[in-house]
Homo-oligomer: A and B are copies of this chain.
């Protein structure tokens, strides 16, 4: 089993209790000590100690009591979303985007810029740098106050932050993004694949909030995959999980070809399908059918609670969802919920923010992971 060391001395126990209290407070409305004590399982007295610590650390704040109830009015405490900030950067094939949020995920600044597919490495990086600068300026967040930054890139990213391989942005291959952004940002910079980060966002603030296992499809001109298994984003042994697109039999490579038969933008195709155009409907059906093969394989293998359709095409979920559901129904033993992402275009950047926050919070709590000697 796992080799983690869970216990430790008394300070470790306090650390664990503080962590649970913070987690409870973060996920709910302001709360009295009595309520918090019940939720954490601690006594009221100890809860008070813990909260005092959290206030000293500026991670929790007191809010005015509620009037009009029986008994002495209880002090109430809330999680301080403004205690930290994070930056998320999404570098796509034809757009770069940046986002600054606080710990609650409230967006404080956003910026984006178009970049031609043919831009080349330097131009794309320069554009990314600029949206980051704009974003920080607009949000009024001092770069020194950042807890971390997350960067999303299409393609395979290794654990050090280097792009191992990118098909969508060929000139990207070999670039170390962590290093690049590390120069500008004096905080941990984490890099990961765009589909995976979009899945993370969906788990954080999207339709998969209460799902422990789900399959996320980043559907667009290419199809990406993110897996959340047992509540955790799955990266794989070498960080190469989610590359279903590489397998011809999965159908994801040729799926988009069916949409290319339509002259004009993909958006128009979906609009035509929505209006009932038979040729458009046929193309959509064939697209979904190909997409469903690899998806059904995953559903059968993993039996997830949910399949989430995200990415550019999720705007047209109304014409995609039902056919996808039908195809999966045909091929699977148990069809999971099939839902469309509601996060829109910022989902990837939001996932990058979450990546940064996860890392920062793990570091802050010391991570029980002391290694056995």
- Which residues of A approach B to under 8 Å, CB–CB? 1-3, 5-10, 12-14, 16-17, 19-20, 23-24, 38-42, 156, 165, 212-213, 225, 227, 229-232, 234-244, 246-247, 249-251, 293-294, 296-298, 300-305, 331-334, 336, 370, 372-373
Contact = CB atoms under 8 A, between A and B. Distances in A.
Contacts of A16: 6-7
B40 A7 contact: yes
A236 B302 contact: yes
Contact of A7 (B20, B212, B225, B293): B20
Nearest to A225: B301
28 contacts: A1-B23, A5-B20, A5-B40, A6-B6, A6-B19, A7-B16, A7-B20, A8-B41, A10-B13, A38-B373, A39-B373, A41-B370, A156-B333, A213-B237, A236-B303, A238-B334, A239-B303, A241-B303, A243-B301, A244-B297, A246-B332, A247-B296, A247-B300, A249-B249, A250-B297, A250-B300, A297-B298, A298-B301
Nearest to A293: B249
Contacts of A331: 246-247
Contacts of A23: 1, 3
B1 A20 contact: no
Nearest to A23: B1
A244 to B, nearest CB: 5
